[in-house]
Structure 1
Protein backbone atom coordinates (compact mmCIF):
# COMPACT_ATOMS: atom_id res chain seq x y z
CA UNK A 1 0.00 0.00 0.00
CA UNK A 2 1.41 3.40 -1.02
CA UNK A 3 2.24 5.77 1.81
CA UNK A 4 0.03 8.83 2.21
CA UNK A 5 1.61 11.86 0.57
CA UNK A 6 1.01 15.59 0.73
CA UNK A 7 1.18 17.30 -2.69
CA UNK A 8 0.61 21.02 -3.22
CA UNK A 9 0.13 23.14 -6.32
CA UNK A 10 1.40 26.72 -6.43
CA UNK A 11 1.63 29.55 -8.93
CA UNK A 12 0.04 32.82 -9.93
CA UNK A 13 -3.54 33.56 -10.87
CA UNK A 14 -5.08 31.73 -13.83
CA UNK A 15 -2.34 29.12 -14.36
CA UNK A 16 -4.69 26.12 -14.03
CA UNK A 17 -3.92 24.81 -10.55
CA UNK A 18 -7.51 23.78 -9.76
CA UNK A 19 -7.81 21.82 -12.99
CA UNK A 20 -4.61 19.89 -12.37
CA UNK A 21 -5.51 19.20 -8.73
CA UNK A 22 -8.69 17.48 -9.94
CA UNK A 23 -6.84 15.56 -12.65
CA UNK A 24 -4.14 14.30 -10.30
CA UNK A 25 -6.74 13.09 -7.82
CA UNK A 26 -8.47 11.23 -10.66
CA UNK A 27 -5.22 9.59 -11.78
CA UNK A 28 -4.48 8.45 -8.24
CA UNK A 29 -7.97 6.97 -7.99
CA UNK A 30 -7.34 4.97 -11.17
CA UNK A 31 -4.38 3.22 -9.53
CA UNK A 32 -6.30 2.58 -6.32
CA UNK A 33 -5.02 5.47 -4.19
CA UNK A 34 -7.54 7.46 -2.20
CA UNK A 35 -7.01 11.20 -1.94
CA UNK A 36 -8.55 14.35 -0.55
CA UNK A 37 -8.76 17.46 -2.73
CA UNK A 38 -8.64 20.74 -0.90
CA UNK A 39 -7.62 24.38 -1.27
CA UNK A 40 -6.21 27.40 0.51
CA UNK A 41 -7.33 29.58 1.92
CA UNK A 42 -10.16 27.25 2.80
CA UNK A 43 -10.73 23.54 3.11
CA UNK A 44 -12.66 23.70 6.39
CA UNK A 45 -15.71 25.77 7.42
CA UNK A 46 -13.64 28.15 9.56
CA UNK A 47 -10.94 28.54 6.91
CA UNK A 48 -13.55 29.10 4.19
CA UNK A 49 -15.05 31.93 6.27
CA UNK A 50 -11.62 33.56 6.46
CA UNK A 51 -11.17 33.02 2.71
CA UNK A 52 -14.40 34.86 1.97
CA UNK A 53 -13.42 37.72 4.26
CA UNK A 54 -9.99 38.17 2.62
CA UNK A 55 -10.93 37.69 -1.02
CA UNK A 56 -13.80 40.15 -0.73
CA UNK A 57 -11.17 42.72 0.20
CA UNK A 58 -12.45 43.26 3.75
CA UNK A 59 -8.97 42.83 5.24
CA UNK A 60 -7.12 44.94 2.68
CA UNK A 61 -7.14 48.09 4.81
CA UNK A 62 -5.49 46.14 7.66
CA UNK A 63 -2.31 45.68 5.62
CA UNK A 64 -0.44 42.68 4.27
CA UNK A 65 0.96 41.72 7.68
CA UNK A 66 -2.52 41.27 9.09
CA UNK A 67 -3.52 39.31 5.99
CA UNK A 68 -0.57 36.98 6.55
CA UNK A 69 -1.80 36.36 10.10
CA UNK A 70 -5.33 35.62 8.84
CA UNK A 71 -3.99 33.17 6.27
CA UNK A 72 -1.97 31.46 9.01
CA UNK A 73 -5.07 31.16 11.20
CA UNK A 74 -6.99 29.57 8.34
CA UNK A 75 -4.04 27.29 7.57
CA UNK A 76 -3.73 26.08 11.16
CA UNK A 77 -7.38 25.01 11.23
CA UNK A 78 -6.99 23.43 7.79
CA UNK A 79 -3.93 21.44 8.88
CA UNK A 80 -5.33 20.25 12.21
CA UNK A 81 -8.89 19.57 11.04
CA UNK A 82 -8.37 18.13 7.56
CA UNK A 83 -4.82 17.68 6.30
CA UNK A 84 -3.24 15.91 9.29
CA UNK A 85 -6.21 13.56 9.91
CA UNK A 86 -6.41 12.65 6.21
CA UNK A 87 -2.71 11.79 6.02
CA UNK A 88 -2.95 9.83 9.28
CA UNK A 89 -5.85 7.91 7.75
CA UNK A 90 -3.74 6.86 4.75
CA UNK A 91 -5.17 9.28 2.19
CA UNK A 92 -3.10 11.51 -0.04
CA UNK A 93 -3.84 15.23 0.27
CA UNK A 94 -3.78 17.30 -2.93
CA UNK A 95 -3.95 21.00 -2.10
CA UNK A 96 -4.51 24.03 -4.34
CA UNK A 97 -2.08 26.48 -2.66
CA UNK A 98 -0.43 26.17 0.74
CA UNK A 99 2.20 28.01 2.80
CA UNK A 100 4.30 28.96 -0.25
CA UNK A 101 1.48 31.25 -1.37
CA UNK A 102 1.68 33.30 1.82
CA UNK A 103 5.46 33.50 1.47
CA UNK A 104 5.05 34.65 -2.16
CA UNK A 105 2.03 36.98 -1.93
CA UNK A 106 2.47 38.59 1.49
CA UNK A 107 6.19 37.93 1.94
CA UNK A 108 8.32 38.34 -1.16
CA UNK A 109 5.79 40.30 -3.24
CA UNK A 110 4.01 42.05 -0.37
CA UNK A 111 7.00 43.00 1.74
CA UNK A 112 6.16 41.23 5.02
CA UNK A 113 9.34 40.43 6.95
CA UNK A 114 10.70 36.89 6.56
CA UNK A 115 10.84 36.48 10.35
CA UNK A 116 7.08 36.94 10.65
CA UNK A 117 6.42 34.59 7.73
CA UNK A 118 8.71 31.97 9.31
CA UNK A 119 7.02 32.32 12.71
CA UNK A 120 3.54 31.99 11.19
CA UNK A 121 4.61 28.87 9.29
CA UNK A 122 5.97 27.30 12.47
CA UNK A 123 2.64 27.85 14.20
CA UNK A 124 0.32 26.94 11.34
CA UNK A 125 2.04 23.92 9.77
CA UNK A 126 2.82 21.91 12.90
CA UNK A 127 5.51 20.12 10.89
CA UNK A 128 3.30 19.24 7.91
CA UNK A 129 5.52 20.24 4.99
CA UNK A 130 4.45 19.02 1.53
CA UNK A 131 6.23 15.98 0.10
CA UNK A 132 6.03 17.56 -3.37
CA UNK A 133 5.10 21.00 -4.66
CA UNK A 134 4.24 21.56 -8.31
CA UNK A 135 4.80 25.21 -9.28
CA UNK A 136 2.87 26.10 -12.43
CA UNK A 137 4.66 28.97 -14.15
CA UNK A 138 3.22 31.31 -16.76
CA UNK A 139 3.56 34.89 -17.97
CA UNK A 140 0.87 36.77 -15.95
CA UNK A 141 -0.34 38.66 -19.01
CA UNK A 142 -1.04 35.36 -20.78
CA UNK A 143 -2.63 33.89 -17.65
CA UNK A 144 -5.07 36.78 -17.28
CA UNK A 145 -5.96 36.59 -20.98
CA UNK A 146 -6.74 32.91 -20.40
CA UNK A 147 -9.01 33.85 -17.49
CA UNK A 148 -10.75 36.49 -19.62
CA UNK A 149 -11.32 34.09 -22.52
CA UNK A 150 -12.66 31.42 -20.17
CA UNK A 151 -15.14 33.91 -18.70
CA UNK A 152 -16.30 34.86 -22.19
CA UNK A 153 -16.78 31.21 -23.15
CA UNK A 154 -18.74 30.57 -19.96
CA UNK A 155 -20.84 33.69 -20.45
CA UNK A 156 -19.75 35.01 -17.07
CA UNK A 157 -18.24 38.36 -16.06
CA UNK A 158 -14.52 38.17 -15.25
CA UNK A 159 -14.79 39.35 -11.64
CA UNK A 160 -11.50 40.07 -9.86
CA UNK A 161 -10.95 39.15 -6.21
CA UNK A 162 -8.65 40.84 -3.68
CA UNK A 163 -5.48 39.67 -5.44
CA UNK A 164 -6.57 39.32 -9.05
CA UNK A 165 -7.23 43.07 -9.16
CA UNK A 166 -3.60 43.91 -8.38
CA UNK A 167 -1.71 45.43 -11.31
CA UNK A 168 0.44 43.44 -13.71
CA UNK A 169 3.68 44.58 -12.07
CA UNK A 170 2.56 42.94 -8.81
CA UNK A 171 1.79 39.70 -10.62
CA UNK A 172 5.16 39.74 -12.38
CA UNK A 173 6.81 40.16 -8.99
CA UNK A 174 4.64 37.34 -7.69
CA UNK A 175 5.82 35.07 -10.50
CA UNK A 176 9.44 35.84 -9.64
CA UNK A 177 8.66 35.09 -5.99
CA UNK A 178 7.34 31.61 -6.73
CA UNK A 179 10.41 30.87 -8.85
CA UNK A 180 12.68 32.01 -6.00
CA UNK A 181 10.83 29.78 -3.55
CA UNK A 182 11.12 26.82 -5.93
CA UNK A 183 14.84 27.40 -6.37
CA UNK A 184 15.41 27.64 -2.62
CA UNK A 185 13.45 24.44 -2.00
CA UNK A 186 14.48 22.50 -5.10
CA UNK A 187 14.33 19.15 -3.27
CA UNK A 188 10.57 19.68 -2.82
CA UNK A 189 9.50 21.93 -5.69
CA UNK A 190 9.24 21.22 -9.41
CA UNK A 191 8.51 24.06 -11.86
CA UNK A 192 6.43 23.31 -14.95
CA UNK A 193 5.30 25.61 -17.72
CA UNK A 194 1.54 26.15 -17.51
CA UNK A 195 1.54 27.54 -21.06
CA UNK A 196 0.75 24.19 -22.65
CA UNK A 197 -2.21 21.96 -23.35
CA UNK A 198 -3.93 20.80 -20.14
CA UNK A 199 -3.62 17.14 -21.19
CA UNK A 200 0.12 17.50 -21.79
CA UNK A 201 0.53 19.24 -18.46
CA UNK A 202 -1.39 16.46 -16.74
CA UNK A 203 0.95 13.86 -18.23
CA UNK A 204 4.02 15.85 -17.16
CA UNK A 205 2.69 16.06 -13.60
CA UNK A 206 1.87 12.35 -13.52
CA UNK A 207 5.40 11.51 -14.66
CA UNK A 208 6.85 13.65 -11.87
CA UNK A 209 4.57 12.09 -9.25
CA UNK A 210 5.28 8.50 -10.27
CA UNK A 211 9.01 9.21 -10.50
CA UNK A 212 9.08 10.90 -7.10
CA UNK A 213 6.97 8.19 -5.45
CA UNK A 214 7.88 4.92 -7.24
CA UNK A 215 5.73 2.89 -4.86
CA UNK A 216 2.69 3.84 -6.94
CA UNK A 217 1.89 2.54 -10.40
CA UNK A 218 3.94 3.80 -13.34
CA UNK A 219 1.28 2.72 -15.77
CA UNK A 220 -0.45 5.11 -18.16
CA UNK A 221 -4.18 5.19 -18.70
CA UNK A 222 -5.58 3.17 -21.55
CA UNK A 223 -6.46 5.23 -24.61
Structure 2
Protein backbone atom coordinates (compact mmCIF):
# COMPACT_ATOMS: atom_id res chain seq x y z
CA UNK A 1 0.00 0.00 0.00
CA UNK A 2 1.33 3.43 -0.84
CA UNK A 3 1.93 5.85 1.99
CA UNK A 4 -0.29 8.71 3.06
CA UNK A 5 0.91 12.27 3.66
CA UNK A 6 -1.15 14.23 6.20
CA UNK A 7 -0.44 17.77 7.38
CA UNK A 8 -1.91 20.07 10.00
CA UNK A 9 -1.91 23.85 9.60
CA UNK A 10 -3.23 26.94 11.34
CA UNK A 11 -2.14 29.85 13.50
CA UNK A 12 0.40 29.50 16.29
CA UNK A 13 -1.35 28.44 19.47
CA UNK A 14 -4.15 26.52 17.76
CA UNK A 15 -3.24 23.18 19.37
CA UNK A 16 -1.89 21.44 16.26
CA UNK A 17 1.03 19.72 17.96
CA UNK A 18 -1.10 18.20 20.72
CA UNK A 19 -3.68 16.90 18.27
CA UNK A 20 -1.07 15.45 15.94
CA UNK A 21 0.44 13.43 18.79
CA UNK A 22 -2.98 12.11 19.77
CA UNK A 23 -3.74 11.18 16.16
CA UNK A 24 -0.42 9.34 15.86
CA UNK A 25 -1.26 7.33 18.98
CA UNK A 26 -4.69 6.38 17.60
CA UNK A 27 -3.24 5.19 14.30
CA UNK A 28 -0.47 3.21 15.98
CA UNK A 29 -3.07 1.49 18.20
CA UNK A 30 -4.85 0.48 14.98
CA UNK A 31 -1.63 -1.14 13.73
CA UNK A 32 -0.74 1.60 11.25
CA UNK A 33 2.91 2.61 10.88
CA UNK A 34 3.25 6.33 11.52
CA UNK A 35 6.01 8.91 11.15
CA UNK A 36 5.39 12.03 13.23
CA UNK A 37 7.36 15.10 12.20
CA UNK A 38 7.31 18.89 12.01
CA UNK A 39 8.44 21.94 10.07
CA UNK A 40 10.73 23.70 10.06
CA UNK A 41 12.88 20.80 11.18
CA UNK A 42 12.26 17.08 11.03
CA UNK A 43 15.91 16.30 10.32
CA UNK A 44 19.21 17.22 11.96
CA UNK A 45 19.92 19.79 9.25
CA UNK A 46 16.35 21.08 9.37
CA UNK A 47 16.50 21.51 13.14
CA UNK A 48 19.60 23.69 12.81
CA UNK A 49 17.79 25.81 10.22
CA UNK A 50 14.77 25.99 12.55
CA UNK A 51 16.90 27.49 15.30
CA UNK A 52 18.00 30.24 12.91
CA UNK A 53 14.49 31.01 11.70
CA UNK A 54 12.86 31.22 15.13
CA UNK A 55 15.62 32.85 17.17
CA UNK A 56 14.44 36.32 18.30
CA UNK A 57 18.08 37.47 18.18
CA UNK A 58 17.87 37.49 14.37
CA UNK A 59 15.37 40.34 14.10
CA UNK A 60 17.25 41.73 11.09
CA UNK A 61 16.65 38.62 8.98
CA UNK A 62 15.54 39.65 5.48
CA UNK A 63 12.16 38.36 4.33
CA UNK A 64 13.68 36.50 1.38
CA UNK A 65 16.23 34.89 3.70
CA UNK A 66 13.32 33.61 5.80
CA UNK A 67 11.55 32.26 2.72
CA UNK A 68 14.65 30.44 1.48
CA UNK A 69 15.52 29.04 4.91
CA UNK A 70 12.06 27.50 5.25
CA UNK A 71 12.40 26.03 1.76
CA UNK A 72 15.89 24.69 2.49
CA UNK A 73 14.68 22.94 5.64
CA UNK A 74 11.74 21.55 3.67
CA UNK A 75 13.94 20.23 0.85
CA UNK A 76 16.03 18.25 3.34
CA UNK A 77 12.92 17.08 5.17
CA UNK A 78 11.22 15.77 2.03
CA UNK A 79 14.26 13.96 0.68
CA UNK A 80 15.62 12.55 3.92
CA UNK A 81 12.46 11.66 5.80
CA UNK A 82 9.09 12.16 4.12
CA UNK A 83 9.59 10.49 0.72
CA UNK A 84 11.38 7.41 2.13
CA UNK A 85 8.57 6.92 4.67
CA UNK A 86 5.89 7.25 1.98
CA UNK A 87 7.76 4.78 -0.23
CA UNK A 88 7.62 2.31 2.68
CA UNK A 89 3.83 2.70 2.87
CA UNK A 90 3.78 4.64 6.14
CA UNK A 91 1.46 7.44 7.20
CA UNK A 92 3.42 10.67 7.59
CA UNK A 93 1.86 13.19 9.99
CA UNK A 94 3.53 16.57 9.59
CA UNK A 95 3.05 19.73 11.67
CA UNK A 96 3.08 22.38 8.88
CA UNK A 97 4.19 22.18 5.25
CA UNK A 98 4.01 24.43 2.18
CA UNK A 99 0.63 25.90 3.14
CA UNK A 100 2.35 27.53 6.12
CA UNK A 101 4.84 29.27 3.85
CA UNK A 102 2.06 30.50 1.58
CA UNK A 103 0.15 31.88 4.60
CA UNK A 104 3.08 33.28 6.61
CA UNK A 105 5.52 34.44 3.96
CA UNK A 106 3.03 35.01 1.14
CA UNK A 107 0.02 36.59 2.83
CA UNK A 108 1.80 37.56 6.05
CA UNK A 109 4.93 39.17 4.62
CA UNK A 110 3.24 40.29 1.42
CA UNK A 111 5.35 38.32 -1.05
CA UNK A 112 3.60 37.14 -4.22
CA UNK A 113 2.04 33.75 -3.50
CA UNK A 114 3.27 32.56 -6.90
CA UNK A 115 6.86 33.19 -5.79
CA UNK A 116 6.37 31.18 -2.59
CA UNK A 117 4.78 28.32 -4.53
CA UNK A 118 7.57 28.26 -7.14
CA UNK A 119 10.35 28.21 -4.54
CA UNK A 120 8.66 25.41 -2.64
CA UNK A 121 7.83 23.41 -5.76
CA UNK A 122 11.57 23.13 -6.30
CA UNK A 123 12.18 22.31 -2.62
CA UNK A 124 9.58 19.53 -2.48
CA UNK A 125 9.70 18.18 -6.02
CA UNK A 126 5.99 18.98 -6.25
CA UNK A 127 4.93 16.88 -3.25
CA UNK A 128 1.41 17.77 -2.05
CA UNK A 129 -0.30 16.42 1.10
CA UNK A 130 -3.10 13.91 0.60
CA UNK A 131 -5.06 15.44 3.48
CA UNK A 132 -4.66 18.69 5.39
CA UNK A 133 -6.39 19.71 8.60
CA UNK A 134 -6.59 23.47 9.05
CA UNK A 135 -7.11 24.48 12.67
CA UNK A 136 -9.38 27.51 12.68
CA UNK A 137 -8.77 29.81 15.66
CA UNK A 138 -9.22 33.58 15.75
CA UNK A 139 -6.22 35.87 16.01
CA UNK A 140 -7.29 37.00 19.49
CA UNK A 141 -7.75 33.47 20.84
CA UNK A 142 -4.48 32.29 19.30
CA UNK A 143 -2.65 35.25 20.85
CA UNK A 144 -3.98 34.42 24.32
CA UNK A 145 -2.83 30.82 24.02
CA UNK A 146 0.64 31.81 22.79
CA UNK A 147 1.21 34.21 25.67
CA UNK A 148 0.02 31.58 28.13
CA UNK A 149 2.75 29.23 26.89
CA UNK A 150 5.54 31.67 27.75
CA UNK A 151 8.34 33.22 25.67
CA UNK A 152 7.53 33.89 22.02
CA UNK A 153 9.81 33.03 19.10
CA UNK A 154 10.77 35.44 16.31
CA UNK A 155 7.68 34.69 14.19
CA UNK A 156 5.28 34.68 17.14
CA UNK A 157 6.49 38.14 18.18
CA UNK A 158 4.99 39.76 15.09
CA UNK A 159 1.97 42.02 15.50
CA UNK A 160 -1.75 41.31 15.19
CA UNK A 161 -1.93 42.82 11.70
CA UNK A 162 0.55 40.22 10.49
CA UNK A 163 -1.35 37.46 12.28
CA UNK A 164 -4.63 38.54 10.67
CA UNK A 165 -3.07 38.41 7.21
CA UNK A 166 -1.77 34.92 7.99
CA UNK A 167 -5.23 33.84 9.16
CA UNK A 168 -6.80 35.24 5.99
CA UNK A 169 -4.20 33.35 3.97
CA UNK A 170 -5.10 30.05 5.58
CA UNK A 171 -8.80 30.67 4.96
CA UNK A 172 -8.04 31.42 1.29
CA UNK A 173 -6.13 28.14 0.96
CA UNK A 174 -9.05 26.23 2.47
CA UNK A 175 -11.50 27.91 0.09
CA UNK A 176 -9.31 27.16 -2.94
CA UNK A 177 -8.73 23.47 -2.10
CA UNK A 178 -11.79 22.09 -0.31
CA UNK A 179 -11.11 18.51 -1.46
CA UNK A 180 -7.74 18.44 0.32
CA UNK A 181 -8.15 20.90 3.20
CA UNK A 182 -10.63 20.27 6.01
CA UNK A 183 -11.26 23.13 8.42
CA UNK A 184 -11.28 22.18 12.10
CA UNK A 185 -12.90 24.36 14.75
CA UNK A 186 -9.99 24.64 17.20
CA UNK A 187 -11.99 26.40 19.91
CA UNK A 188 -13.31 23.15 21.41
CA UNK A 189 -12.30 20.51 23.94
CA UNK A 190 -9.20 18.50 23.09
CA UNK A 191 -11.13 15.21 23.08
CA UNK A 192 -13.78 16.50 20.69
CA UNK A 193 -11.22 17.71 18.18
CA UNK A 194 -9.25 14.46 18.45
CA UNK A 195 -12.36 12.40 17.70
CA UNK A 196 -13.14 14.47 14.59
CA UNK A 197 -9.61 14.02 13.27
CA UNK A 198 -9.56 10.28 13.97
CA UNK A 199 -12.95 9.67 12.38
CA UNK A 200 -12.24 11.75 9.30
CA UNK A 201 -8.79 10.34 8.63
CA UNK A 202 -9.84 6.72 9.02
CA UNK A 203 -12.76 7.35 6.65
CA UNK A 204 -10.39 9.08 4.20
CA UNK A 205 -7.99 6.13 4.31
CA UNK A 206 -10.79 3.63 3.78
CA UNK A 207 -12.08 5.52 0.74
CA UNK A 208 -8.62 5.64 -0.76
CA UNK A 209 -8.16 1.90 -0.25
CA UNK A 210 -11.54 1.24 -1.85
CA UNK A 211 -10.69 3.49 -4.79
CA UNK A 212 -7.34 1.73 -5.25
CA UNK A 213 -9.01 -1.70 -5.19
CA UNK A 214 -11.59 -0.57 -7.76
CA UNK A 215 -8.81 0.75 -9.96
CA UNK A 216 -6.86 -2.49 -9.71
CA UNK A 217 -9.95 -4.53 -10.64
CA UNK A 218 -10.57 -2.30 -13.65
CA UNK A 219 -6.99 -2.74 -14.87
CA UNK A 220 -7.17 -6.51 -14.46
CA UNK A 221 -10.18 -6.87 -16.71
Indicate whether the TM-score tops 0.5. yes
1:210/1:216 contact within 8 Å kept? no
Q: Which secondary structure state, in structure 1, belongs to the residue aligned with residue 127 of structure 2?
A: coil
| Bigger Cα displacement from structure 2, 39-48 vs 160-169 | 160-169
| 1:142-157 alignment runs, 5 A limit | 142-149=141-148, 151=149
SS in 2 for 1:62: coil
Would the alpha carbon gap of residues 86 and 75 (structure 1) be closer, same or farther in structure 2, given more than 3 Å must change? same
Summarize the alignment of residues 163-182 of structure 1 with structure 2, pairs less than 5 Å apart: 163-182=155-174
Bigger share in helix: 2
Secondary structure at the residue paired with 1:61?
coil
Task: Establish whether residue 103 from structure 1 lines up as the match of residue 102 from structure 2.
Answer: yes
1:221 aligned partner? none
Q: 1:27 to 1:65 in 2, by over 3 A?
A: same
**Partner residue in 2 for 1:18:** 17
Distance 1:146 1:70 in 2: 27
Please, which runs of 5 or more residues in structure 2 have no aligned partner?
210-221
Measured in 1, the distance between the counterparts of 2:191 and 2:124 equals 32
1:114, distance to aligned residue in structure 2 (A): 2.4
The 8 Å contact of residues 7 and 133 in structure 2, kept in 1 or not, is answered as yes
Q: Is the 8 A contact 1:31 1:216 kept in 2?
A: no
Which consecutive aligned stretches of 4+ in structure 1 deviate over 6 angstroms post-superposition? none
Instruction: Write out aligned runs for 1:134-213 (5 A).
Output: 134-149=133-148, 151=149, 158-213=150-205
Retained in 1: the 8 A contact 2:2–2:88? no
Q: Deviations over 1:137-179 (max 9, x none)?
A: 1012112222334x3xxxxxx1010111111121122111101
Q: Give the C-alpha shift of residue 216 in structure 1.
A: 9.0
CA contact (8 A) 1:54 1:60 kept: no
Structure 1 CA distance, aligned partners of 2:124 and 2:56? 25
Give the length in aligned residue pairs: 209
Distance, in Å, in 2 between the alignment partners of 1:203 and 1:94 is 16
Distance 1:46 1:118 in 2: 22
Aligned counterpart, 1:155:
none
Distance 1:115 1:200 in 2: 36
Give unpaired runs (5+ residues) of structure 1: 152-157, 218-223
Counterpart residue number, 2:219: none
Please give the alpha-carbon distance, in whole angstroms, between the structure 2 residues aligned to 1:162 and 1:43.
Answer: 19
TM-score (structure 1 length as normaliser) = 0.89
